[in-house]
């Protein structure tokens, strides 16, 4: 007997959790024997995922996930039929808020204590986000490092799929912040995902 599953409306928290799993799986496949911490303590690092390469002894990879609610006009605005004037008015009110929100996300990413820093966004938000991030700068002022961008594709009824759209480059890391993460998180907590050898 086959049971037909009705599509379930996921909460934003459930969508974020599924995206975290998709990004963690991407990092597990991409890095060499990573230890992955899901939602590490914000007092140490403001990221949704922290992956430590080479069995916990390598570089830190931090990912901040921002889904549709953070980077798109509200659902109500998108569903409302709009002519050119209504569309322009909606864009004029939404876009300044979007730019301000992305500036805050950019500041957060640039200040993260990690060797590699990523922003994970829905695939359909990539073009608009990369234009704004390009304006804000994917590189820090000293030129050492580049923000990576991960896109997440959500297909109804299937697991989300994450892939790297902009390859990150290694940032300089403050030794004091690295030491704090090593002593307060890595040495005391077992990772949520680890590769057994």
Query: What are the tens digits of pLDDT across the range 157-189?
Result: 788 999 999 999 999 999 999 999 999 999 999
pLDDT of residue 33 exceeding 50, the answer is: yes
Range scoring the smallest mean pLDDT among 14-28, 65-79, 80-94, 136-150: 65-79
Rounded mean pLDDT, 112-127: 94
Report the run of H or E that residue 29 belongs to, with start and end.
helix 12-30
With beta carbons less than 8 A apart as the criterion, state whether 148 and 117 touch: yes
- Joined together, the tokens standing for residue 10 give 């996921």
Q: Helix, strand, or coil here: 54?
A: helix
In this prediction, residue 45 carries a pLDDT of 93
Q: From CA 44, how far away is CA 53, in angstroms rounded? A: 18
In this prediction, residue 76 carries a pLDDT of 44
Rounded mean pLDDT, 117-129: 93
Q: From CA 158, how far away is CA 160, in angstroms rounded? A: 6
Mean pLDDT score across all residues of the chain = 87
Q: Are strands 193-194 and 60-65 parallel, antiparallel or unpaired?
A: unpaired
In this prediction, residue 55 carries a pLDDT of 86
In this prediction, residue 7 carries a pLDDT of 59
Determine if residue 56 is left, alpha or beta; phi over 0 gives left, psi from -120 to 50 gives alpha, anything else beta: left
pLDDT of residue 68 exceeding 80, the answer is: no
In this prediction, residue 145 carries a pLDDT of 96
Range scoring the smallest mean pLDDT among 6-10, 66-70, 105-109, 114-118: 6-10
pTM of the predicted structure, to 2 decimals: 0.87
């Amino acid at each position: 007997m086959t049971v037909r599953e009705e599509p379930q409306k996921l909460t934003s928290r459930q969508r974020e959790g599924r995206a975290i799993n998709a990004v963690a799986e991407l990092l597990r496949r991409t890095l060499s024997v990573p230890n992955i911490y899901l939602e590490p303590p914000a007092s140490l690092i403001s990221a949704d995922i922290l992956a430590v390469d080479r069995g916990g002894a390598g570089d830190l990879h931090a990912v901040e996930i921002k889904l549709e609610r953070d980077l798109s006009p509200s659902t109500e605005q998108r569903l409302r039929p709009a002519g050119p004037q209504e569309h322009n008015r909606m864009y004029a009110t939404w876009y300044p808020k979007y730019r301000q929100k992305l500036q805050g996300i950019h500041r957060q990413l640039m200040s993260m204590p990690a060797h590699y820093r990523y922003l994970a966004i829905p695939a359909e938000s990539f073009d608009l986000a990369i234009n704004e991030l390009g304006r804000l700068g994917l590189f820090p002022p000293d030129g050492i490092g580049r923000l990576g961008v991960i896109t997440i594709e959500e297909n109804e009824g299937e697991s989300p799929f994450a892939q790297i759209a902009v390859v990150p480059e290694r940032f300089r890391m403050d030794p004091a912040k690295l030491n704090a993460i090593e002593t307060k998180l890595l040495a005391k907590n077992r990772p949520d995902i680890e590769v057994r050898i």
